[in-house]
Structure 1
Amino acid sequence: MRQTRPRMTNLFEQLGLDSSEQAIQDFIGQHQLAAEIHIMDAEFWSDGQRQFLAEKIASDGEWAITVDQLNEALHEDSVPRR
């Protein structure tokens, strides 16, 4: 059985969030995190979402890469631009 390669849209679906391109952009824009806040400590996750993210990061598999991409996107505003 072939598994779907994790993508941001798949991640948002797994988190129970709207997975349209616009909704993903809106979510990221509206949920920017300060540099010192780890993605797992963000106040906007439910316990289930937080657990899912923690499991995927710990797995260090393909999902971990997608979660890391979301983490980077959520911290975009906290990174100084050159």
Structure 2
Amino acid sequence: MDTSKHNLSTLFDQLGLASGASDIEDFVTRHSPLPREVAIQDAPLWSESQSHFLEEGLEDDSDWAELIDELDALMRH
């Protein structure tokens, strides 16, 4: 059972992306703002598996859902 605390860095690890603080900042800057009408999991920047992970995390209200929402908010600015 995974009892570790998730954060944006571990979310980026899970997505197979560089996960340092500057990497996350660069990613958000490069892909923002995400249009309001596009759900985060439907953004064209994700691979199919990344999109599926995000969608499943939100639908299942998993441990990742709060961080996916946080990333979503960061990408809307």
Q: TM-score, normalised by structure 1?
A: 0.86
Q: Determine the structure 2 residue equivalent to 1:80.
A: none
Distance 1:24 1:70 in 2: 10
Equivalences for 1:30-41 in 2 at 5 Å? Answer: 30-32=30-32, 33-41=34-42
Distance 1:31 1:47 in 2: 17
Q: CA RMSD in A?
A: 1.2
SS at match of 2:36: coil
What fraction of aligned residue pairs are identical, expressed as a percent?
Answer: 37
Distance 1:58 1:6 in 2: 18
Distance 1:2 1:55 in 2: 18
Name structure 2 gaps, 5 residues minimum.
Answer: none
**Structure 1 position 2, deviation (Å):** 5.1
Give 4+ residue runs of structure 1 displaced > 4 Å after superposition: none
Q: TM-score, normalised by structure 2?
A: 0.91
Q: Determine the structure 2 residue equivalent to 1:7.
A: 7
Distance 2:70 2:27 in 1: 14
Q: Determine the structure 1 residue equivalent to 2:64.
A: 63
Q: Determine the structure 2 residue equivalent to 1:72.
A: 73
Q: Determine the structure 2 residue equivalent to 1:28.
A: 28
Name structure 1 gaps, 5 residues minimum.
Answer: 77-82
The answer to whether the 8 A contact 1:5-1:62 is kept is no
From the CA coordinates, give the structure whose radius of gyration is larger: 1
